[in-house]
Structures are given as C-alpha cells and as structure tokens.
Amino acid sequence: MSLSEDICPIPAIAPMSADGDMDAAIASARAAVGLPVGTRVVAAMSGGVDSTVVAALLHKAGYDVVGVTLQLYDHGAALKKKGACCAGQDIHDARLAAETLGIPHYVLDYESRFRDAVIDQFADSYLRGQTPVPCIRCNQTVKFRDLLDVARDLGAEAMATGHYVRRSVGADGRPQMRKAVDHSRDQSYFLFATTPEQLDYLRFPLADLEKPQVRGVAAELGLRIAAKPDSQDICFVPSGDYRSLIDKLRPEGRQAGEIVHMDGRVLGEHAGITDYTIGQRRGLNVAVGEPLFVTKLDPAKRHVIVGPREALLTAGLTLEETNWLGDAPTMLDAARDGAPVLARVRSTRPPAPAWLTLTDGAIGVAFERGEEGVAPGQACALYDPADSDRLIGGGFIRATTAAI
C-alpha cells in the first residue's frame, strides 16, 4: 500500500464557508508566531487534525515548516482497539499530511524516553496511591523538553503545537500563557509545567480558533484528517483499561488489602489499591446504608479508606515540582506573601478562589471554600484572580488537608 492510499476511511466534512475565513485563520497563525515570514518553524505533528492544521496554516502563511512526529508507544497495539479503526495510524496520517503540504517530515523513535518519563512514572504513581496525569508528564518531558532540543538542532526559531492555549507578551516583555478563545477546548491546565524559557520558544497557532473552524480549515485544504475523531483515551492505553497495564508493569501492586471506613471499621477486602482513586464511589462492593466514597489510599498498609461525601472536601494542599509564570520573582516569594490565586485541581473543574501558603518551606494552596475530590498526583494549575485567563503556574499535588 502506498503512502497516499487511505488505510482507514474518515468521513467528509464541509470546508470553510468563505475565502475570508481561511485568510483570517492564516493571519491568526502568523500573528501567533510573531516572526518574519520565511522563518523556520518546527510543527509538532501528532497525526491529529489540530497539529496537522497548525502545520498547514504555517505553510500557507509563508513559514519554512518542518514537521516532526514522535513515535511514543506501540502503534500495533492500538490497532486492536475495537471501534477505532484509525487508532495506530497517527504516524501514517502525519506523513500523508506532510506529503500533501509538500513539507519535510521526520519521525523520531522516542519509545524508550516515553516509557521512562511517562509510562513507568504513571504505573509507579498508582503504586504510591496517587492519581497521575500522564498528558502533563508527556508535555513536561518528551514534548516540551526533548522535542524542543530537536527543533533547535533543526535550525528552527520556534516550535508550534496544536494545543488550544494562547501565548502573549506582557507589558514587561515576558511571554505569558493564557486560555484559548474556546474555553471548552482550553488546555492550559495540562501545560502548567511549561517553563518561561520553553514558553519563549513555543507558539500556539490555534489560540483564536474553535474546533469547527479547525476542521473547516482542514477540509478546505483537502486534508483527509478533517473529520478524524479526537483521541479520548490515554494514548498508551488504547483499550482504556489502564489497570491491566499497571498489573503488567507492576504486578506487585496486585496485593489484597482491607477497605476501611474512616472511623476505623473494616468493611471488606480489595484485590489491589491500583483499582481505586480518590472520589471513587462505584465498585467498592461494601454496603453500610449510606453512599461511600474513597477518601484516601494508604499503600503501606494496603488500605482503601472510605467515608461520606463530605469527607472528600479539601481545605488545602501542598505542592511539589512547581512551576512559576507569575509576576512575583519566584513562586516562593508569592507564597511567602500569601498571594491570592485561582486554583484548578482537575481539568474538568473550574478554578476556585484560594491563596498560596508557605509552611516549613513547603509551598501550598489554601481554599476559600472546600474543594471536593482533590487527589495526590493530580496537578493544581494556578490562574491570576485579576485576569482569570492567565495561567501563572502550578505544581503536582503532594498531600491534602481535609476540611473536616
């Protein structure tokens, strides 16, 4: 089968309604890059519609575009996913798009790095009773560290990605990260760990576009991925069954233990703490006449601790692996001053009013009102209360303090 043949059919989608729309999208991409036409820009191409449209718009805008795709996991395994005939064809789709656009394209084998930095860390986090966010780890390490080095080696002045987030320049001349215009697609939570130095080099050409516009651009340019479904699962768990992966990588996590009520009563047994996450209600297989939720995991004792819903309320948390993009010189300075923030503890939850704390040298967050379901291992992204679209940093949640 040749490169130009379709391995998997993708339904048609209507192109953009007018030439002016395409011109506006190109102008928006050019403004997002902010560099002279003809400058070399590396486009990180995952094979999906977003990153492909980024490469296409930059090419149409007159930049010297080089596409780079990372092979991160076993694509053969992804082909076995029922109901997703195109899973595992991402590299093929990226190559085909680059061929259609007439731009150079490189595929880099990063499977080993990805396994070390993301997959192994993912499995280890569950053994520690945490709830990891692998997409953040991937952005933090493989994509925004290793791939940026590749882009510089290729002589690029910037690297562009298909993330829905905005990069702007503040009055002090430093780059800022802001939410995308389409808040329903905003990915700033997943990019909290982007350092100022990385942000100086990165570009996000989709900041001003909504998803239907992006698909319309792809259709107008004749790109076959215009209607390609968005990825819904963790990329290296194509079946969606992450517990089976953890059992395979870390079989020691499959050890039985007790399900314990927070008042000390032993209510039952479990087959392994990796089956549970903070806030979980279903699958506990215990009954005491009231709804119970997982409130804490104790790997050392192999205890799954449960309690009523109100026990999920969190008054505060401590952070580790922090990153700062705010106006204060450092996050430590901001914490020392008790700076107000908007704290977002899950990608699906809105930011909540809070303030930074400093206790025995540990930076933390205290909430004005209790936050529900805050889990160690998750990320806490911080936004500016005076400008709620601006991301000012964040960290991974190390520990929590209950509100009751």
Positions marked active-site? 138, 235
Beta-carbon contacts of residue 246 (< 8 Å; ≥ 6 apart): 122, 123, 126, 127, 253, 274
Q: In what order do the strands lie in the sheet with 105-109?
A: 105-109, 64-71, 40-44, 158-160, 202-203
Cα angle 6, 42, 149; round to 5: 120
Q: What is the three-class DSSP state of 277?
A: coil
- Backbone φ, ψ for residue 88 (5° rounding): 90, -5
Tokens standing for residue 395: 């960290």
Q: How many CA atoms lie within 13 A of 141 on its CB side?
A: 19
Q: In what order do the strands lie in the sheet with 303-307?
A: 266-270, 257-261, 303-307, 293-298
- Backbone φ, ψ for residue 152 (5° rounding): -65, -40
Between CA 33 and CA 160 the distance in angstroms is 8
Residue labelled with tokens 């004005």: 368
Between CA 190 and CA 202 the distance in angstroms is 15
Burial 43-52 (b: 16+ CB within 10 A, else e): bbbbbbbbbb
- List the alpha helices (DSSP H) in 110-255: 111-114, 120-127, 134-138, 147-153, 196-201, 211-220, 242-249
The gap between the terminal CA atoms of the chain, to the nearest Å, is 62
Contacts 24+ apart (CB under 8 A), 294-300: 295/262, 295/402, 296/129, 296/262, 297/129, 297/273, 298/129, 299/127, 299/128, 299/129, 299/273
8 A C-beta contact, residue 162 and residue 59: no
Between CA 8 and CA 96 the distance in angstroms is 13
